[in-house]
A and B are shown apart, each in its own frame.
Chain A
């Protein structure tokens, strides 16, 4: 028997109509499908209707709004985002992040909306059903009470936010447009993530992400994706840094280390002031982040690696403090 029905819709309102009045989870929206179809096969999601969004022409459009910024349709592929001339020139950290995802094959299908909504991941959850069946049930995969990331924790889920474009979008202060039958709302990308591995997105079961809105581009920025090898794997962490403009507005965003992207706010203040060296700011950032131990790296490893990478990046923006000796 077929697992689900496939519906290719032509408009956003058609997609929203299909979600109307159905129990949560019965209808799944699919853009590229490179995350969703794997989870369907791993029996982590079960839906009865699959709505394909790539057939909505409006949803893949990338528009430049003059000096004010740009809007990217949620179903624009990562390849389209990465190679768009305006993204490349004015928002290079977003272009680099999109380009750093997996392989060309994946980037030809995977979309920016899908990368934002990419299910949070952990080393236990993203395994085959046979493998998972051998262990007591985890909180996310099967509503049990076990957590294999933090075994001593009493509640919560620590699966990681893993979309590579999330960090740059937070640093760029992008917003997402969410549409449902009730209307539209705009949300900062930063607030789109709730911080828990299970309920990790502020996205209702009847809501659909339609657009990513980028404000005026910053003067500069750096993106780094750190992974053990230059392979297809998810990041151990990503760093997105925007230097201050007239003494404010710095951003230091660390992605893929928690259920939401993390900002090193104290370190950002130090970067705004530009009174201390890159090493001090990097150390501050590494210390203030609430990191957890994971299969992709222990807390100690990640602290040291983040500090070292960040120092390298910050050297370009902070002149070394004058020595007083």
Chain B
């Protein structure tokens, strides 16, 4: 069965017909061409598909598109304002936290969610906050540095 899905993606209202068993990840990538959201394991372990659904970070591979009915989705494409990077992205650049870059969208949105809940996390809280995203370049320390930078600026 297919059902009409009405939701907001990066602030824009969207209506489209989706299959009932389609994941939010597939709808974002294959229908809306928002390929910034990455597929990794497809089992909720790597966190590369992280998006913000109604203010909370979730694994879009473990979320059916229809669960977003009437909801707000924020993907990495919606974070910057045109050419102006979001403060987390800016801190990411300054700290040199990108290596291959595959985990960056999920990682940045995890940090976004973490800072919404806790604007000044300590190192332990940062590690817990980014636990849901695997970086196989193992560049976690630069990421932690980026979070410290941005939370220091926000202070």
Residues on A facing B (Cβ under 8 Å): 2-6, 8, 33-34, 37-38, 41, 50, 52, 54, 79, 102-106, 108-109, 231-232
Contact = CB atoms under 8 A, between A and B. Distances in A.
B129 A104 contact: yes
A106 B47 CA distance: 9
Interface of B: 1-3, 19-21, 42-45, 47, 50, 53, 56-59, 62-64, 66-67, 69, 110, 113-114, 128-129, 131-133
Nearest to B1: A5
18 contacts: A5-B1, A6-B21, A6-B64, A8-B69, A33-B64, A33-B67, A34-B44, A37-B62, A38-B62, A50-B20, A50-B64, A102-B132, A103-B132, A104-B114, A106-B44, A106-B132, A108-B57, A232-B132
Contacts of A33: 62-64, 67
B1 A2 contact: yes
B66 A6 contact: yes
Contacts of B57: 104-105, 108
A37 B129 CA distance: 24
Given A2-B1, A108-B58, A102 B44 contact: yes
Given A52-B67, A104-B110, 9 more contacts: A2-B19, A3-B21, A5-B20, A103-B131, A105-B110, A106-B44, A108-B113, A109-B62, A231-B131
B138 to A, nearest CB: 13
Nearest to A99: B128
B59 A106 contact: yes
A109 B132 contact: no
B13 to A, nearest CB: 19
Contacts of A4: 20-21
B64 A37 contact: yes
Contacts of B2: 2
Given A103-B131, A104-B132, A34 B59 contact: yes
A79 B56 contact: yes
Contact of A109 (B21, B59, B113): B59
A267 B131 CA distance: 36
Contacts of A231: 131
B20 A2 contact: yes
Contact of A104 (B19, B53, B63, B128): B128
Given A2-B1, A2-B21, A105 B132 contact: yes
Contacts, number: 81
Nearest to B49: A105
Nearest to B55: A108
A103 to B, nearest CB: 3
Chain B CB within 10 Å — which of A105, A106, A231 has the most?
A105
Contacts of A41: 42-43
Question: Which of B44, B50, B59, B113 gathers most chain A CB within 10 Å?
Answer: B44
A240 B6 CA distance: 44
A97 B12 CA distance: 38
Contacts of A37: 62, 64
Contacts of B133: 103
Question: Across chains A and B, which 4 residue pairs bring their CB atoms closest together, nearest first?
Answer: A103-B132, A6-B20, A108-B56, A105-B132
Nearest to A108: B56
A108 B53 CA distance: 10
A115 to B, nearest CB: 14
Nearest to A105: B132
A306 to B, nearest CB: 25
A320 B21 CA distance: 59
Nearest to B106: A105
B50 A105 contact: yes
A36 to B, nearest CB: 9
Contact of A34 (B62, B69, B110, B113): B62
